Amino acid sequence: MEECREYYNAADIFGENVFNDAVMQERLPKKVYQRLKEIIRGGKELDLATADVIAHEMKEWAIEKGATHYTHWFQPMTGVTAEKHDAFITAPMENGRVLMSFSGKELIKGEPDASSFPSGGLRATFEARGYTAWDCTSPAFVRQDAAGATLCIPTAFCSYTGEALDQKTPLLRSMEAVNEQTMRLIRLMGNKTSRKITASVGPEQEYFIVDRAKYLKRKDLIFTGRTLFGAMPPKGQEMDDHYFGTIRERIAAYMRDVNKELWKLGVSAKTQHNEVAPAQHELAPIYASANVAVDHNQLVMETLKKVAGRHGLQCLLHEKPFAGVNGSGKHNNWSITTDDGINLLDPGVTPHENFQFLLILTCILKAVDVHADLLREAAADVGNDHRLGANEAPPAIISVYLGEQLEDVLKQLISTGEATRSIAGSMLETGVKTLPDFMKDATDRNRTSPFAFTGNKFEFRMIGSQDSIAQANVVLNTIVAEAFAEACDVLENSSDFELALHDLIKKNATEHQRIVFNGNGYSEEWVKEAKRRGLPNITSMVDAIPSLNTEKSVRLFEKFGVFTKAELDSRVEIEYETYAKKINIEARAMIDIAAKQIIPAVIKYTTVLASSVSAVQAACGTADTSVQAGLLNEVSFLLAETKGALTKLEALAAKGAAMEEGRTQAVFYRDQVMKAMEALRNPVDKLEMLVDKEMWPMPSYGDLMFEV
C-alpha cells in the first residue's frame, strides 16, 4: 500500500458530490427552486414541468462531475441497496454523434425489471412490474469509483398496485404519521410557531476489519460473513486494551479514506474509535432526518466495504463474525425536533415542571410497553440472533432506561400524582488543582439497556450491524405517533385541560412503569424480574417475526397508513424465507469446508503422526512414541466425530431445503439444522488446537484478529 499523505480541509470537500440545497439554489431558476422546497416540505405535488427543469440541471451538474450514467438507487427487502445503471446518451443522430439527456420523467419514475427481489407474494413473476419513485427529501449524489461516476437518485420502490416493496416507502409514511400527531400534540400544548416535526436519527455503526489476504482463505467468511469454525485465540478481549485504544496506522489510513469518501457524499462522519473486541471499530455520523440517516447508513456500510479493498483489508459487517468475541451492532439515536429547532425530548433543567416533556416521555413509555414485541422484531435479523441476550448486546427483553433524575420524577408522579422536584447535576471534583471541575450530567449512563434515554434522545441499541435501520425507525415513529394520537384524543375532548393533562401523565406513568428498568440488563435476575412483570422475552428471530402481523400490529400500521395487512403479511413471509435461506447457506458452507478442507487436512496430519510412530520406532526400538500415538488416537477420535456430525448435517440441510418455505421451515432450521451445525463445529474447533498449524487449512482467530 503506497503511503498517501494528502492534507485537506474537510469543509472544502464536504458534500462536493451532492446535489444539495446550496447547489440547487445556485443552479435552479428561482421559481423552480422555491417550488421544489415546497414539495420537500410536503406542501405541493411534483409536476412534470418542474421535474424536467430539475432533471436537466441535475444531469448538467452530474456530467461536470464526470458522470456517464444515472441510477435509481433503492432499498429492496434484501437489507442492502439495489441499482440499475442507464447511460445519459440518446440514440445516435444522423451524424453519428449522441446527445446526453435526462428527462423529468426519468428522474421521477423508473421501472427496473425487478421481479427477482423479495416481494413475499405481493407480486407474481408474471406481473413483475415494480416502480421506483424519486424521493426528493433525500439528496441525489454522484458516486465516483472504479465503475466511473454515477448519478444516484434515492428512490422508493413499489409494486404496480402501489404496495411497498422496500424500506423507504414505509419509513416516509411513518415520518408523516409522527409529524402529524406530534404537531397535534404540541399545538394542544400551546406551540403556535413550529410547522413541521422531523424524526432525527444518528446511527453508530460497528464493524470489524481483517486482512483481505487472510479473509480470502476463509470460505466461511466469504460465503456467510462470519466464521463457522474457529478455536478461541490465547488472548481475547479480556484485557479491554483495544477499546478506545490508539488506532493502528494501517487502520487509521483506512479510516481517513473512509471519511474522505463519506464527506464528499455529504455524510457527516464524525466519530471513530476502536471498539471492545480486537479488530473492531465504530463510526458515527452527526444525526440527520430519519430518511437521510437511513440512506446515509447504507452509504456508510457500502463505503466501509469498498474502501477496505483498496487498503488490502476486508470489512466484516456481520453481527457475529467471531464466536466468543463481542459482535457488532448499531445504536440508533432517535429524537423528534421541530423545524424551528426545538428538541421535544429535551427535559430542560427542571423536568418536573416541563409538562410537555412529561407528556411526551410517558407517551413514549406507553408506546414502547405496548409494542415491545414490534421493536424487538425490528432488530431481528439472522446474525443478530447470536447477540441479543448473549451477554454482550442488550438483552432480548425490551425495557427503558431513564436514569436517576427522570426515574425519580416518574416515582413522584406515580406515588403522589405530582412531581415537585428534580435531582440536579452536581459538580465533578477532580481533586487536582490544575484540572477543571465541571458540572456533571444529572444522569449516568447504562450500557446494558436496549432503549436508553441519553439526555435529549433515546438510544435504541438492539439493531444488528449489517441490518438496515429503516424498520426500527418505522416502528419507533409509528408507535410514538399512536401514543400521541391517543393522548390528543383524550386532551381534545376534555373540559378541564389542565386536569386532564395531569391525569393523563399520571395514568401513562402508572400503567407503563413496568417497562422502566435501570439495573443491569445482562443479569439473570433481570430475566426473572422481567418475566414477573410480564414483559416479553423473545430470544430468536423466528419467534419475533409473528409480531409483525398480529391484530394489534395490523391495527396500528393501518391506522397510520404505514403498512397494509397485505404488506405486513408479505414481510412475514420474506423474513421466514430469508432466515431459512441464510442458515441453509451457512450449513452448506460448513459442509463444504469440513468435507473439502478440514477432513483432508486432518487425515494428512494423522498420516504424519502414524509414520512418525513407525519411523521413530524403526530408528530406535525403545524410544517412547506415546505422545505421537496418543495424539494420533485423540485426533482420529475427533476426526470420526467430525465425519459423523458432517453426515448428520448433510441429511438435515437437505431435508430443510426440500421443505416448503414458511414458518415450519424456519423453525426446522433453527431447532435442527443449527444444532447440527454446532455439533460439527465442536470437534473441529478441538482439532484446530491439536493439528499442526502449518497443516490447518485456514487462518486462525488469532491470525485474523491480531494480525491486521
Applying CB under 6 A, the residues found at the interface with ligand ADP are: 200-202, 204, 271, 284-287, 333-335, 343, 454, 456-457
Q: Minimal distance in Å, beta carbon 73 to ligand ADP?
A: 22
**Residue 632 binds which of Mg ion, ligand ADP, none (CB < 5-8 A, kind-dependent):** none
Residue span binding Mg ion (CB under 5 A) among the ranges 129-137, 323-331, 571-579, 695-703? 323-331
Residue closer to Mg ion by CB (options 35, 331) is 331
* CB neighbourhood size of 287 (10 A): 20
Residue span binding Mg ion (CB under 5 A) among the ranges 84-92, 324-332, 334-342, 682-690? 324-332
Q: Which residue is nearest to ligand ADP (CB)?
A: 202
371 in contact with Mg ion (CB under 5 A): no
Residue closer to ligand ADP by CB (options 133, 276) is 276
Burial class (CB in 10 A: 0-12, 13-18, 19+), 611: exposed
Q: Which residue is nearest to Mg ion (CB)?
A: 331
- β-pairing, 288-289 with 197-211? antiparallel
Q: Minimal distance in Å, beta carbon 286 to ligand ADP?
A: 4
Residue closer to ligand ADP by CB (options 137, 200) is 200
Do 469 and 293 meet the contact criterion of CB atoms below 8 Å apart? yes
**Residue 200 binds which of ligand ADP, Mg ion, none (CB < 5-8 A, kind-dependent):** ligand ADP
Residue closer to ligand ADP by CB (options 200, 448) is 200
For the chain, the distance separating the N- and C-terminal CA atoms, rounded to the nearest angstrom, is 13
Q: Minimal distance in Å, beta carbon 270 to ligand ADP?
A: 7
Residue closer to Mg ion by CB (options 452, 541) is 452
- Please give the Cα distance from 478 to 468 (Å, whole number): 17
List the grid coordinates of 599: 477432513
Q: Minimal distance in Å, beta carbon 167 to Mg ion?
A: 23
Q: Minimal distance in Å, beta carbon 284 to Mg ion?
A: 7
φ/ψ of residue 459, rounded to 5: -115, 110
Residue closer to ligand ADP by CB (options 347, 697) is 347
Residue closer to Mg ion by CB (options 331, 376) is 331
Radius of gyration of the chain (CA): 28
Residue span binding Mg ion (CB under 5 A) among the ranges 326-334, 443-451, 486-494, 686-694? 326-334
Residue 530 β-bridge partners: none
List the grid coordinates of 277: 473486541
State the DSSP code for 426.
Answer: -
Place of cell 405535488: 45
- Per DSSP, the three-state class of 581 is helix
Q: Minimal distance in Å, beta carbon 69 to ligand ADP?
A: 32
Do 307 and 143 meet the contact criterion of CB atoms below 8 Å apart? no
* CB neighbourhood size of 530 (10 A): 21
**Residue 230 binds which of ligand ADP, Mg ion, none (CB < 5-8 A, kind-dependent):** none
Q: Minimal distance in Å, beta carbon 244 to Mg ion?
A: 13
Do 311 and 260 meet the contact criterion of CB atoms below 8 Å apart? no
Residue closer to ligand ADP by CB (options 456, 636) is 456
Amino acid identity, position 135 = D
**Residue 357 binds which of ligand ADP, Mg ion, none (CB < 5-8 A, kind-dependent):** none
457 in contact with Mg ion (CB under 5 A): no
Which residues between 518 and 557 bind Mg ion (CB under 5 A)? none
Q: Minimal distance in Å, beta carbon 300 to ligand ADP?
A: 11
331 in contact with Mg ion (CB under 5 A): yes
- β-pairing, 400-401 with 451-453? parallel
Q: What burial letters (b/e) apply to 320-356, b meaning 16+ CB within 10 Å?
A: bbbbebbbbbbbbbbbbbbeeebebbebeeebbebbb
Q: Minimal distance in Å, beta carbon 401 to Mg ion?
A: 12
**Residue 335 binds which of ligand ADP, Mg ion, none (CB < 5-8 A, kind-dependent):** ligand ADP
Q: Minimal distance in Å, beta carbon 334 to Mg ion?
A: 12
Nearest residue to 51 via CA among 66, 64, 39: 39
Residue closer to ligand ADP by CB (options 159, 477) is 477
Nearest residue to 228 via CA among 691, 656, 582: 582
Report the sign of the C-alpha dihedral through residues 56, 58, 61, 64, in that order.
negative
Residue closer to ligand ADP by CB (options 137, 150) is 137
Q: Minimal distance in Å, beta carbon 456 to ligand ADP?
A: 5
Count of residues engaged in binding Mg ion, rule: CB under 5 A: 1
Report the sign of the C-alpha dihedral through residues 293, 294, 299, 304, in that order.
positive
Residue closer to Mg ion by CB (options 378, 684) is 378
To 5 degrees, how large is the angle CA 406–CA 410–CA 412? 120
Residues near Mg ion (CB under 5 A):
331
